[in-house]
């Protein structure tokens, strides 16, 4: 059996430009051969690629697969363990020690209480767009500022620091700058967060970070937690908003349906999450030999899980490559599954529900301001998929 | 003869507070405001909320929820 297993020699680096929302053809092809394939990691190490929904979900629920950074077996040098507080790349019990004190701050109820404030932030972005004329880059005018302001308020970044803070995180998340600039921005963000933690400990304000100073977490750990909230929460949401708008503009019947029926909004957000899966792949490493889909994953081997392809699995979702805002998309893996399932998902949902609704209501004639072929996509090598910019236009009032 | 009502259990030791249950079946599940972990509002959900409760059990990311059917078969996500 293992003789005939499908092999993906190198993980794909490009998408088809005519179908930018679909996983690269090589991944869809792998799924057609079966839910698991052999692959080679970009660093040259052999591994496995899991593309089937059921198999991806089962790995995510299986404690024999680790998220630890120092166990990643993809390059031929050893990786350091995740820094204190960066629990996305840790296993239990370390992971849960960090996640536990945060959970109560991100509940469905607490995030819904932010709705009005997020509506206000969104309206301010839309007002500024309108005041500026009849066209704009949706990424810089809308998709980035909304999650940035929300995260700043959550962490209690003082108002006067926001502009420079936003510039820094933009530089280190955007992947558009030189290595030196990237390191400088990353270091500056680290230093800023260290100062912020110290300030919150000395003078607590009304925000999540201040609340967390009232726990056994050290300043170093709080800095790591802030960094991960920022890194996990900003780029993902921003790209969902911009790529999601692009997907709606390329599917005018779906956009019209959403505009006509506000009760579609919550379901539309779930379907856009499934369809786009901007956090497209994650890694896990086998802690022992594990039988998976008829193959043996040897202890120490790192596997790639394609959440995007899993969310397009025809055995789980009928007509999976169609964007259908009225479908039951629950159960998608866009926020993962298992103990690392997104901590910020209820916040992200409120942001997306509010922002998409307000955008389609404000601009009834929203359209692309350039031909679709000219919309520049991020490279497939970026951790989070999306558009680099999205020129849009609307009619004057 | 009607089958006994299905019974829900929640293991707060496994719960990771993702909020999937409170979002999917708000009449059956909540999250406690301090720790964010699952709270069962009904251990035997009334008929009107059973489908949502079953969906929520299937969606639970940590396997903390189970639905024990009157007939004896248990539902527990993988
Ligand atoms: C649409 C937007 C978002 C998407 C698509 C997304 C996606 C994800 C995914 C797929 C994971 C799990 C990765 C894995 O399986 O290893 C994750 C984890 C995480 N996310 Fe999100 N996320 C989003 C928004 C947010 C926001 C707004 C925040 C916080 C403010 C956030 C904070 C986190 C944290 C802290 C983790 C680590 C959880 C853990 O390891 O237990 N995310 N996210």
d(CA A202, CA A200) in angstroms, rounded, equals 5
Domain that holds residue A365: 7-393
In a domain, B5, yes or no: no
In tens digits, chain B (78 residues) has pLDDT values of 566 778 999 999 999 999 999 999 999 999 999 999 999 999 999 999 999 999 999 999 999 999 998 654 555 554
Q: Which of B61, B32, B75, B50 is nearest to A336 (CA)?
A: B61
- Is A97 within a domain? yes
Confidence of residue A22 (pLDDT cuts 50, 70, 90): very high
Q: Residue A100 above 50 pLDDT?
A: yes
Number of domains in chain B: 1
CB within 8 Å of A166: residues ≥ 6 apart: A144, A145, A148, A152
**Does some domain include residue B51?**
yes
- Dist CA A334 CA A377 (whole Å): 19
Q: For residue range A278-325, what is the model confidence (pLDDT) as tens digits?
A: 999 999 999 999 999 999 999 999 999 999 999 999 999 999 999 999
Between CA A303 and CA A41 the distance in angstroms is 9
* Pairwise CA distance, residues A242 & A227, whole Å: 23
Q: Which residue has the higher pLDDT, A260 or B42?
A: A260
Residue B3 within any structural domain of the chain: no
* Nearest-Cα residue of chain B relative to residue A104: B36
Nearest CA owner, ligand 1 atom 7: A335
Q: Does B27 touch chain A (CB under 8 A)?
A: no
Rounded to an integer, what distance in angstroms lies between the CA atom of residue A85 and that of residue A67?
A: 14
Q: What is the mean pLDDT of chain A?
A: 94
The pLDDT of residue A1: 44
A67 ligand 1 Cβ < 6 A: yes
Contact by Cβ (8 Å): A107, B22? yes
Task: Give the 3-state secondary structure of residue A38.
Answer: strand
Contacts of A345 in chain B (CB under 8 A): 18-19
CA distance B59 to chain A (A): 6
pLDDT of A2 reads 46
Q: Which tokens in the block code for residue A237?
A: 């949401």
pLDDT score recorded for residue A171:
80
- The answer to the question of residue B9 being in a domain is no
Number of domains present in the structure of chain A: 1
- The set of residues, in sequence order, having a beta carbon less than 8 Å from that of A380 and lying 6+ positions away, is A12, A13, A14, A15, A24
Per cent of chain A over pLDDT 90 is 82
CB contacts, 8 Å: A333 with chain B: none
User: What CATH code is carried by the domain that includes residue B52?
Assistant: 3.30.70.20
- Residue A2 inside a domain? The answer is no
Range of the domain at B32: 16-75
pLDDT of residue B70: 67
Q: What is the mean pLDDT of residues A128-154?
A: 96
CATH number of domain containing A251: 1.10.630.10
* The predicted structure's pLDDT at residue A168: 83
Is B61 close to A109, i.e. CB distance below 8 A?
A: no
> Does residue A1 fall inside a structural domain?
no
Buried b (16+ CB within 10 A) or exposed e, B28-65: bbbbeeebbbbbbebeebeeebbebbbbbbbbbbbbbb
HSE on the CB side for B41, CA within 13 Å? 15
């Amino acid at each position: 059996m293992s003789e005939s297993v499908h092999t993906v020699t190198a993980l794909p680096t490009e998408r088809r430009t005519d179908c930018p929302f679909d996983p690269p053809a090589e991944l869809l092809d792998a799924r057609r051969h079966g839910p698991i394939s052999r692959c080679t990691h970009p660093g040259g190490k052999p591994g496995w690629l899991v593309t089937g929904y059921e198999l991806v979900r089962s790995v995510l629920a299986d404690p024999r697969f680790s998220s630890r950074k120092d166990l990643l077996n993809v390059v031929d040098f050893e990786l350091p363990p995740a820094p204190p507080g960066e629990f996305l790349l840790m296993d239990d019990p370390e992971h849960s020690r960090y996640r536990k004190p945060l959970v109560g701050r991100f509940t469905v109820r607490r995030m819904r209480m932010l709705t009005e404030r997020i509506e206000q932030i969104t309206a301010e972005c839309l007002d500024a767009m309108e005041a500026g004329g009849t066209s704009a880059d949706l990424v810089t005018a809308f998709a980035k500022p909304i999650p940035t302001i929300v995260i700043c308020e959550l962490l209690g970044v003082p108002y006067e620091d926001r502009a420079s803070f936003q510039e820094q995180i933009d530089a280190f998340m955007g992947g558009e700058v030189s290595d030196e600039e990237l390191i400088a921005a990353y270091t500056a963000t680290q230093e800023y967060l260290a100062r912020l933690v110290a300030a919150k400990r000395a003078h607590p304000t009304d925000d999540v970070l201040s609340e967390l100073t009232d726990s056994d977490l050290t300043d170093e750990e709080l800095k790591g937690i802030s960094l991960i909230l920022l890194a996990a929460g900003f780029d993902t949401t921003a790209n969902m908003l911009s790529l999601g708008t692009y997907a709606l503009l390329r599917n005018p019947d779906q956009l019209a349906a959403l505009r006509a029926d506000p009760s579609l909004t919550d379901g539309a957000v779930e379907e856009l999450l499934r369809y786009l899966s901007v956090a497209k792949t994650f890694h896990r490493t086998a802690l022992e030999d594990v039988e998976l889909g008829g193959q043996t994953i040897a202890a120490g081997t790192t596997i790639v899980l394609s959440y995007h392809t899993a969310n397009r699995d025809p055995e789980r979702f009928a007509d999976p490559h169609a964007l259908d805002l009225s479908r039951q998309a629950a159960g998608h893996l866009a926020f993962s599954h298992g103990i690392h399932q997104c901590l910020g998902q209820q916040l992200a949902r409120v942001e997306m529900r509010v922002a998409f609704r307000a955008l389609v209501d404000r601009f009834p004639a929203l359209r692309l301001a350039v031909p679709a072929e000219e919309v520049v996509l991020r490279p497939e090598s970026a951790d989070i998929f999306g558009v680099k910019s999205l020129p849009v236009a609307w009619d004057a009032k | 003869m009607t089958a006994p009502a299905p019974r829900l259990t929640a293991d707060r030791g496994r719960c990771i507070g993702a909020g999937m249950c409170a979002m999917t079946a708000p009449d059956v599940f909540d999250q406690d405001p301090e720790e964010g972990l699952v709270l069962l509002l009904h251990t035997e959900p009334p008929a009107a909320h059973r489908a949502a409760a079953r969906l929520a059990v299937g969606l639970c990311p940590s396997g903390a929820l189970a639905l024990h059917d009157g007939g004896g078969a248990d539902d527990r996500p993988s």
